[in-house]
Structure 1
């Protein structure tokens, strides 16, 4: 059957776009060459910056790896699988699955960029696995695209950065609260427009789809075999005889003693309730989410050894994060340390006007985001140039801050770095690759770009 235009684009992307790790290596070489040609840095200086930046994201990488491995342990347990199936069964059709994933993903991402990926990936995986006719590549793209408004939300790095007193307080003209950025008319209206537009785009793509590749089509032989074996075993029946139980050593009995893991889980849950009750939304961050995933897993796993075994197995799925994040740390260090980011920014500022400045700031930041997909690193590197230039041109500082924020998120739709937040959960047990679903994000990239440009030009802050 003749493929739709969106399928043709997605297939082209899958065929010609390299693996995410290759993408990171290519960007490293480009950053090195541009730094040598466009700045006064020597080869030795560029290499020093590369080496110095390599460990920048070590802590971040481990936080994510632990969080996703712990989340996968939770998903692996029979009790969670049962309730996941019940929830997925509320979604009756593929179209409902696509729309629900888009909305759930956007709302949870707006609440917390570290919450959205876990919740949305689990949900998309569940409905993709349970609902017949769901194209798993498409629903993976929808899950990832829902991340688009994450950094404009409550946990947005740049809005929180400018709302906190620090070394950049004077540069940005004082503290700028979330009510001026995250909850501004500009941001709320554009976020709603993006959710609606993105959902409609994916509905159209889904309606015109002719080539359906399901979760089970992508499942590995090992995963299928494990599923069949699990389905053949009645969890209420035990194959262990009384004699075998009596022959267990003391160590074996301790290892399989459920109250031990349950007590620690209950203690952790009680503290979480107290902590979040005291801190509210302000207490939610990546460390909190990691702790929640750990505690929930302890509460539902049958024993400590089973938990450790499941964690070790699922940690393998997070390997791409551990490998690629340090590579991007090196790229960020090159751009910041050599002054390349500032050089590019200066060139754009020199040809800007009061009207075009926010749009050019958005586009330039989008370009830089391909090399430095970290909002904090990029803002640190360029804010000292963007903010004074905005003041000189008479551009509102809040509009400038939001332009930088939007640009930093925008090109994530073609940059596979943040797809790694979803990939460990979506891909485990399958042959799914990042490039299999990134192509479906291209129409959304165009639509979101238009929405943010028009918002920056015409909406009040």
Structure 2
């Protein structure tokens, strides 16, 4: 029954879901309308909030872009790509294809969500090439679905943010080590439960007819320029192709990382970025190849660069209009100490639809949620993780972070969103139940 529901729902979504940029603009207009109703006497202030907020998160935007770019560039290392191709050959049936794609992508999301974007795209593409009985849009949905688990991973925006010295809430909550957030036993339990049950749900959604197999991109550009450059005997080209400079630069990064850890520094966004940058420089055969991989990754990142300022503006309007505060305060008012994390999770899921950024959402929601939780005696680490889980949950139905992977595989958001919406229902139910018991 579920596969029939998924098939009909997916076809309906394909007809009516617009492009992700159109969604961003529509959400912008929506928050403006709401803001005008909430503050009818101050219409100009709403425009000012949006304009000021448009540039508010430039530092964070650059951190996120580098996180994604360095992760994607690392995944483009030849031996990593060969490994992923070999792994893809393990799937012999359609069901095995869905499970394998989900599990490989989950492992990548745990390490780094930037890395996971390209790993998920590559594994979905390679599995699709070898298994024509697998429905390719569902394979891509399976590759993207682990986005709900990234908040428990090593690149968790909120988990790393609150562990970083000088974060904006340090005076209120102090520095929260990752042992109390992403490595907390409750976080690990939720992560394991999702990783076990989500691929089963995906299999139940798999269509029995009208299978859409993987179709290679037409006129896919061959990377002949790298081979041509390798044949050149000019000293400048030999310098570009030399692996020594990349290795030396990567080692500088690792020396810095080791010294920071020795001095007691915890994982944070900057450390993750330097780590993946250094690994990429070491593993790529030359600075030329690294620059080429970085350039190719940039094509997939362009929608995020275009849309993030709009969402930053939305976040600013949500804050200035009081809409986000109204949502959070209403849920906090009906919660107690035992249910606060669940209501925080739901509130975060709603806010994330309008502000799809873990760090940006924490900047908006964190101060309000932390203050409300403190009144009830809720641990700040629990509040942070509840917001993080809510952010990850509705990432499934907020198309923003699916853009890079879709760009790599050549699909539109409407091709996978029907499956993602149904998955989000299961994730919401399961995580809500577990939150009552694990923190």
TM-score range, shorter chain: 0.7 to 0.9
How do residues 303-318 of structure 1 correspond to structure 2 at under 5 angstroms?
Answer: 304=288, 312=295, 315-318=298-301
How do residues 142-291 of structure 1 correspond to structure 2 at under 5 angstroms?
Answer: 142-164=142-164, 166=166, 167-172=168-173, 174-206=174-206, 208-216=207-215, 219-223=216-220, 253-254=234-235, 256-257=237-238, 260-271=241-252, 274=255, 282=267, 284-291=271-278
Residue 406 of structure 1 is matched in structure 2 by 389
Structure 1, residues 221-245: CA drift from partner, whole Å, max 9, x if none?
323xx57x99xxxx9xx9xxxxxx9
When normalised by structure 1's length, the TM-score is 0.80
The change in CA–CA distance for 1:369 and 1:155 in structure 2 (over 3 A counts) is: same
Q: Alignment partner for residue 319 of structure 1, among 288, 293, 302?
A: 302
Distance in 1, matches of 2:427 and 2:32, equals: 30
Distance in 2, matches of 1:78 and 1:397, equals: 42
The change in CA–CA distance for 1:358 and 1:21 in structure 2 (over 3 A counts) is: same
Residue 400 of structure 2 is matched in structure 1 by 417
Distance in 2, matches of 1:51 and 1:287, equals: 32
Q: Alignment partner for residue 433 of structure 1, among 412, 418, 439?
A: 412
Question: Does structure 1 retain, via aligned residues, the 8 Å contact 2:318–2:324?
Answer: yes
The answer to whether residue 122 in structure 2 is matched with residue 135 in structure 1 is no
Residue 334 of structure 1 is matched in structure 2 by 317
CA drift of 1:86 comes to: 3.4
Residue 345 of structure 2 is matched in structure 1 by 362
Distance in 1, matches of 2:379 and 2:149, equals: 22
The change in CA–CA distance for 1:79 and 1:411 in structure 2 (over 3 A counts) is: closer
How do residues 32-181 of structure 1 correspond to structure 2 at under 5 angstroms?
Answer: 32-39=32-39, 42-58=42-58, 84-164=84-164, 166=166, 167-172=168-173, 174-181=174-181
Distance in 2, matches of 1:125 and 1:276, equals: 34
Question: Does structure 2 retain, via aligned residues, the 8 Å contact 1:197–1:447?
Answer: no
The change in CA–CA distance for 1:125 and 1:346 in structure 2 (over 3 A counts) is: same
Which has the greater radius of gyration? 1
Question: Does structure 1 retain, via aligned residues, the 8 Å contact 2:250–2:281?
Answer: no
List runs of 5+ in structure 2 lacking aligned partners.
none
SS of residue paired to 1:45: helix
Deviation larger for 368-377 or 275-284: 275-284
Deviation larger for 332-341 or 310-319: 310-319
When normalised by structure 2's length, the TM-score is 0.83
Distance in 2, matches of 1:163 and 1:81, equals: 32
C-alpha RMSD of matched pairs (Å) = 3.5
CA drift of 1:39 comes to: 3.9
List runs of 5+ in structure 1 lacking aligned partners.
239-244
Question: Does structure 1 retain, via aligned residues, the 8 Å contact 2:181–2:385?
Answer: yes
Number of corresponding residues: 428
The change in CA–CA distance for 1:58 and 1:384 in structure 2 (over 3 A counts) is: closer
Structure 1, residues 82-122: CA drift from partner, whole Å, max 9, x if none?
55533432433332232122122223322333333233333
CA drift of 1:418 comes to: 1.4
The change in CA–CA distance for 1:460 and 1:308 in structure 2 (over 3 A counts) is: closer
Residue 21 of structure 1 is matched in structure 2 by 21
**Larger RCO (alpha carbons 8 Å, 6+ apart):** 1
CA drift of 1:372 comes to: 1.1
Question: Does structure 2 retain, via aligned residues, the 8 Å contact 1:413–1:441?
Answer: yes
CA drift of 1:444 comes to: 1.7
Distance in 2, matches of 1:99 and 1:87, equals: 12
Distance in 2, matches of 1:68 and 1:160, equals: 15
CA drift of 1:397 comes to: 4.2
CA drift of 1:320 comes to: 1.4
CA drift of 1:314 comes to: 5.6
The change in CA–CA distance for 1:150 and 1:312 in structure 2 (over 3 A counts) is: closer
The change in CA–CA distance for 1:138 and 1:114 in structure 2 (over 3 A counts) is: same
CA drift of 1:56 comes to: 3.6
Distance in 2, matches of 1:416 and 1:323, equals: 14
Question: Does structure 2 retain, via aligned residues, the 8 Å contact 1:58–1:325?
Answer: no
CA drift of 1:7 comes to: 1.8
